[in-house]
Amino acid sequence: MTDIVHFVGLGSMGLGMAQSALRAGFEVYGHDPDAGRRLLLREAGGRALEPASPKAEVLVCVVLNAAQTRDALFGAQGWAKGVQTGGVILGCATVGPEFAREMEEEATRRGLLYLDAPISGGAVKAAEGRLSIMASGRAEAFERAAGILAALAETVHRLGDCAGPGSAMKAVNQLLAGVHIAAMGEALCFATSQGLDLARVLEVIKVSAGNSWMFENRAPHVIEADYSPRSAIDIWPKDLGIVRDIAAKVPLNLPLVEAALGEYRAASEAGLGREDDAAITKHTAARAGLRLPGDG
């Protein structure tokens, strides 16, 4: 088992993943710009990641996007310098396949292995060590990361022997997830317009053909008027933008993606960007003058 693991990014996903690694017996060092997140890691038994920290066999990078990934790994701070020669980097952000391949090439130049390893499952599953990881990379990278992958994930999907397919698969997932959340918002607004009780709508749809994981997971946020961000509106212009950019290179027209992307951008511009992505329902309801649970 790998003894020392570094985590860069201790947001809602990264902190839960670090906690799962601690429970599995790893010695965990973590960094996040937010001092409060670093404190939460220390309270869970982890340590602050510093340039002088012991070198790791695995670095798990759980930041927001491609720019943050590049900076965190190979920028001025360059946390990749804290990985042992022959160690492995797990790149967990949602990025395009070309960028993932670029990161793999840079890691190789530095004597490191790289797994293109985007994640899915949400903060709860991250904290439970039950994520789905869509991974691609060299066999040696999978072997070196086997212990930490087992600690973090319920399922590890091996999708190829180089970086790229993992990120492509995550883009497929995000296409569906983003469209499904937008559809959830429209469905709840439509139900409201017809005088239906939203709790009953959830109860019925959960056991009907129209259900989706996103509907079942996000509809309760609307019903409970709880828009504290587990996954924020502002994530979707980025993720669906990645999907659109990948498709444009084919070229492939994705009208549902374009429609959902427009809705998320409009919701963000309306001031909802930092709220839970279930708040797309609030955006749709406001345009129709509909009252949702919690509206005064």
Active site residues: 170
> Within its chain, how far is the Cα of 109 from the centroid?
27
The residue type of 183 is A
What lies within 8 Å, CB to CB, of 41 at 6+ separation is 7, 10, 15, 18, 19, 28, 30, 32, 47, 48
| Cβ 268 vs Cβ 213: under 8 Å | no
CA–CA separation, 291 vs 72, rounded Å?
Answer: 43
Which residue in the block uniquely carries the two structure tokens 């990881």? 133
Query: Dihedral of the CA atoms 206, 209, 210, 211 (nearest 10)?
Result: 30
User: How far, CA to CA in Å, does 66 sit from each of 17, 30, 37, 62, 281?
Assistant: 20, 19, 21, 11, 28
